[in-house]
Amino acid sequence: MAVSDSQIRLNASAPVPERRNPTLEALMEAAREPWTIICSLILLGFLAMAALAPLLAGDPLAINPALRLRPPSFEAFWGTDHLGRDVFARAMNGARMSLTVGVSVAILSAIPGVAIGIFAGMNRLGGALVMRVIDAMMAIPAVLLAIALAALLQPGLTTLIIAISIPEIPRMVRLVRSVVLSVREQPYVDAAVSVGTGGLKLVTKHILPNTIAPVIVQATYAAASAIIASAVLSFLGVGTPPDIPSWGGMMADARKFFQFYPMLMVYPGALLSLLVLVTNVLGDRLSDALDPRKMARSI
């Protein structure tokens, strides 16, 4: 049957369906969930607390023995500690330190973790040697390794970030390697190899894009773990120096006065727990949204 010119023009003018990005659609769907919205708002509150700390709070290092262990007042919203320092100001600056450590560790563990994981997944012999080193690193408890590194290096925020990042890298390597080994068995990768695609192009076009989603999820868990580790190290006295306010350091200073002034420990402990909670919840939401089986059903 002949096709008229009008039908040809109608078909030509028909809109071409846009290619959907399943990862972007999954993230948009997760962003509309109530728990995601609530946790995101709380996290934005912590970010605002960290950014506005110099404007909304006083000097966290100012010592005034005449005002030691005072109850909450207009001058000090959460009272003062045993040295007369403003607890509210120290807590706000502690949020800045915790967020800095969390974000930095997530990035510093993801970049080498992805590179080493892809190498280990693409190179069988070299990957086997790399994984033995990774297994040896994971045999050492992360907190003990971080304490050893923090004790060997010069104390400071940079040292703390490095000490926490190194134990997180093996987890990222194992995750990325498992994803690469799975992707290598897919038919489209075999087809790309059969037409001569290899090396860097194969990695950047087919391997690396498939690692982005799990790396994002693991990075959120690494950030939460880093926030806890930084508080633990500061509580033990091997984290940040005294001139950098931290929630762990605040809880360590409040131990002696907990029986009479429990809020000195409750304030930083509650902030630490809330920040880690919302970070883990967001990680769980991302994990559910970026589940490959769920994304495959939505395509």
Per-range mean pLDDT, top range of 208-212, 250-254, 286-290: 250-254
- Fold exhibited by the domain 83-296: MetI-like fold (1.10.3720)
Q: Is residue 86 helix, strand or coil?
A: strand
Q: Is residue 80 helix, strand or coil?
A: strand
Q: Which of 61-75, 108-122, 186-200, 205-219 has the lowest mean pLDDT?
A: 186-200
Residues of the chain with pLDDT > 90, as a percent, come to 33
pLDDT of residue 6 exceeding 70, the answer is no
pLDDT of residue 189 exceeding 80, the answer is no
Task: Kindly state the average pLDDT of the residues 220-226.
Answer: 93
Rounded-to-integer distance, Cα 257 and Cα 265, Å: 9
Closest CA to 90 of 125, 50, 117, 123: 50
**Residue 26 — very low, low, confident or very high, per pLDDT cuts 50/70/90?**
low
pLDDT at 30: 67
Length of the chain counted residue by residue: 299
pLDDT at 23: 64
Closest CA to 244 of 164, 160, 146, 166: 160
More confident site: 198 or 240: 240
More confident site: 111 or 146: 111
Closest CA to 163 of 110, 98, 230, 103: 230
